[in-house]
């Protein structure tokens, strides 16, 4: 896992390069590198590639990026993990390729040499890739099908730039928090997260998940763009192909594929079914110690604490388990680092930031997460509703300050983006990508921890898509997953209701002067956020402390903007 930045345009100065690498350092604390070359001899247009590395597969300097082919005509920067790199490596070796490292990055270079753009469909993994083909004068960008790894791009008359984070565009002088995207801000007001393809910075967009593009450097235009070919499985948002494998085998296969690398794999262990099932599958495949971690709260009224339930799972499976309790002082101390990590505002992510902080302090570098299970296997109650518009509307946050016609337009845009694939498609294409995956990646990578999401394995996604809502919910939420967990997870965990990891933020927001609504009104008013919307959000939190999310939306936005 790493951070990347690239540009086709004016060369980056030394100070700009250092600023970009500094902005991406959290994503890659182990190494950094840069490469620049003119697009034509004596010209003023250059290719710039910068990279920061978190070493997971092949910890040696042979995994350094930007990485060049032996001939020096191909260059690549890559963020992610290729879980089937050893199978691809064997295929390439049969074709006469000789490898010098154990890095999956090297597999990308040789794979592109032999398969061209068809390479992207051969990859099982999570990835954002930029590959420069000097002889053809072409830059290829590609992103994994579920959008686990972020890739942003900026296209304009001056050239093209791409990066893992908005902070890299800011550091390069290409975007600013003084110039916000109006549509991105509106979607944030309604959903609590910026809806793709927008970001909060004007001119920077989200590169679409499951797509690739080929940019011709001579004139900076996109020559080819399309969906990643589905050679290893169907696209996550289309009708899946049939697979004869039963769910039990697919789950075990997904865990085995992702339990790779030269760092030990740990677990974020909640008190729920999803992480417990992953832990059981990992235990079934591995002997020896498996580290797990659960975060709870101490002295924070109203907190939902599942550490006792997590401890039951850990004891049942013989995990090396750690329980970490968060106090009010630690909540306060973590807020500013959280703002630095999230890259753009979101009402989600603070809980993941706290878990990651505790995990890194315990020495964990790679961790499994149950992200995607609820979205694919119908874990949310509203997924049973018949109306698509009603399902999508349930995630709207009240007191947005938007006109009814604007809310309807944003709702329709989300419906159009999700298509007609049903409730699971809506959750994965919108909430999972825009909020959960983006925030989880930001807060984990900012602290140098790689998050793996086995439930988003392409074959497992295909299985889930092949079954209708009635099958997934025949005996309650996540029926098919619960059936697999019966022999693996303690009975108390199987029977327990879905509770989530909820922070008790209302008392803290009420007592901190920096979160006073008048201060937020003064800062957000110039952006067109009505004072009435902020005041109403505050009032909702006073009615019941469980309704802190509407006001938290404005707090995070205000504080993020204040860090210019």
SS3 at position 140: strand
Share the mean pLDDT of the chain.
90
User: Which structure tokens are listed for 290?
Assistant: 């498996």
User: Which structure tokens are listed for 334?
Assistant: 């973590």
**What pLDDT sits at residue 164?**
97
Centre a 10 Å sphere on the Cβ of residue 216 and count the other Cβ atoms it contains.
15
Please name every residue paired with 141 in a beta bridge, in sequence order, or none if there are none. 130, 213
User: Which structure tokens are listed for 525?
Assistant: 């008013």
First to last CA, the chain: 27
Query: Tokens 């992103």 belong to which residue?
Result: 143
Estimate to the nearest angstrom the gap between the alpha carbon of 356 and the chain centroid.
Answer: 14
Q: How does 431-442 read in b/e, with b if 16+ C-beta sit within 10 Å?
A: bbbbbbbbbbbb
Please name every residue paired with 304 in a beta bridge, in sequence order, or none if there are none. none
**What pLDDT sits at residue 84?**
94
Q: What is the DSSP letter of 311?
A: H
- Beta-carbon contacts of 524 under 8 Å, excluding residues fewer than 6 positions away, are 534, 554, 557, 558, 561
Q: Could you tell me the domains of the chain?
A: 2-227 (3.60.20.10), 247-385+437-495 (3.40.50.620), 506-561 (no CATH)
67 vs 111: CA distance, rounded Å: 14
User: Which structure tokens are listed for 55?
Assistant: 């070493």
User: Which structure tokens are listed for 530?
Assistant: 């009505």
Q: Where are the alpha helices (DSSP H) in 192-263?
A: 247-258
- CA-CA-CA-CA dihedral for 272, 541, 510, 359, to nearest 10: 20
∠ Cα 448 453 456 (to 5°): 145
Residues of the chain with pLDDT under 50: 230-243
**Torsion angles phi and psi, residue 260, rounded to 5:** -120, 175
**What pLDDT sits at residue 234?**
32
- Beta-carbon contacts of 252 under 8 Å, excluding residues fewer than 6 positions away, are 281, 284, 285
- Going from the C-alpha of 241 to that of each of 51, 84, 328, the distances in angstroms are 37, 20, 49
**What pLDDT sits at residue 220?**
57
| Residues 128 and 210 sit within 8 Å (Cβ to Cβ) | no
295 vs 297: CA distance, rounded Å: 7
CB neighbour class for 236 (10 Å; exposed up to 12, middle 13-18, buried from 19): buried
Please name every residue paired with 5 in a beta bridge, in sequence order, or none if there are none. 50, 163
305 vs 282: CA distance, rounded Å: 24
564 vs 560: CA distance, rounded Å: 8
Residue among 186, 37, 17 at smallest CA distance from 533: 186
**What pLDDT sits at residue 293?**
94
User: Which structure tokens are listed for 509?
Assistant: 């927001």
Q: DSSP per residue over 244-265, as a string?
A: ---HHHHHHHHHHHHS-SSS-E
19 vs 15: CA distance, rounded Å: 6
Centre a 10 Å sphere on the Cβ of residue 347 and count the other Cβ atoms it contains.
22
User: Which structure tokens are listed for 535?
Assistant: 């005041």
**What pLDDT sits at residue 238?**
39
| Residues 248 and 479 sit within 8 Å (Cβ to Cβ) | no
């Amino acid at each position: 896992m790493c951070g990347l930045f690239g540009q086709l345009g004016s060369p980056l100065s030394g100070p700009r390069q250092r600023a970009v690498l500094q902005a991406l350092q959290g994503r890659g604390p182990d190494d950094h590198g840069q490469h620049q070359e003119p697009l034509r001899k004596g010209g003023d247009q250059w290719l710039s590639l910068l990279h920061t590395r978190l070493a997971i597969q092949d910890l040696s300097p042979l995994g350094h990026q930007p990485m060049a082919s032996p001939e020096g005509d191909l260059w690549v920067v890559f963020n992610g993990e290729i879980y089937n790199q050893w199978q691809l490596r064997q295929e390439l070796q049969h074709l006469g390729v000789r490898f010098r490292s154990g890095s999956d990055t090297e597999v990308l270079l040789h794979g592109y040499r032999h398969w061209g753009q068809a390479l992207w469909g051969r990859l099982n993994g999570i990835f954002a890739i930029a590959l420069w083909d000097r002889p053809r004068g072409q830059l290829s960008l590609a992103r994994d099908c579920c959008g686990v790894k972020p890739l942003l791009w900026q296209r304009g008359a001056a050239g093209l730039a791409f990066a893992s984070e908005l902070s890299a565009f800011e550091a390069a002088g290409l975007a600013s928090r003084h110039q916000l995207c109006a549509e991105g801000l509106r979607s944030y007001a309604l959903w609590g997260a910026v809806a793709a393809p927008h970001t909060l910075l004007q001119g920077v967009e989200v590169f679409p998940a499951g797509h690739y593009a080929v940019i011709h450097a001579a004139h900076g235009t996109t020559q080819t763009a399309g969906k990643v070919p589905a050679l290893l499985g169907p696209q996550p948002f289309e009708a899946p192909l049939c697979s004869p494998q039963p769910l039990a085998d697919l789950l075990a296969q997904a865990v085995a594929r992702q339990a790779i690398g030269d760092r030990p794999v740990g677990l974020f262990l909640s008190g729920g079914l999803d992480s417990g099932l992953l832990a059981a599958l990992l235990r079934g495949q591995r002997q020896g110690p498996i580290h797990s971690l659960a975060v709870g709260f101490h002295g924070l009224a109203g907190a939902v604490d599942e550490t006792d339930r997590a401890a039951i799972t850990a004891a049942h499976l013989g995990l090396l388990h750690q329980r970490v309790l968060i106090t009010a002082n630690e909540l306060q101390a973590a807020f500013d680092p959280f703002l630095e990590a999230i890259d753009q505002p979101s009402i989600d992510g603070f809980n993941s930031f706290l878990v990651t902080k505790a995990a890194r302090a315990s020495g964990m570098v790679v961790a499994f997460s149950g992200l995607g299970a609820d979205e694919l296997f119908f874990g949310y109650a509203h997924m049973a509703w018949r109306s698509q518009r009603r399902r999508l509307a349930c995630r709207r946050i009240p007191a947005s300050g938007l006109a009814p016609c604007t809310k309807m337009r944003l709702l329709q845009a989300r419906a159009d983006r999700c298509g007609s694939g049903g409730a699971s498609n809506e959750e994965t294409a919108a909430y999972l990508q825009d909020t959960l995956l983006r925030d989880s990646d930001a807060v984990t990578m900012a602290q140098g921890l790689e998050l793996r999401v086995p439930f988003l394995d392409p074959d497992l996604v295909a299985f889930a898509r092949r079954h209708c809502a009635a099958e997934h919910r025949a005996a309650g939420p996540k029926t098919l997953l619960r059936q697999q967990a019966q022999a693996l997870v303690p009975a108390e965990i199987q029977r327990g209701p879905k509770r989530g990891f909820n922070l008790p933020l209302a008392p803290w927001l009420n007592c901190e002067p920096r979160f006073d609504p008048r201060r937020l009104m003064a800062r957000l008013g110039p952006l067109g956020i009505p004072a009435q919307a902020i005041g109403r959000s505050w009032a909702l939190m006073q009615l019941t402390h469980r309704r802190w999310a509407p006001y938290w939306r404005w707090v995070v936005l205000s504080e993020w903007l204040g860090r210019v």
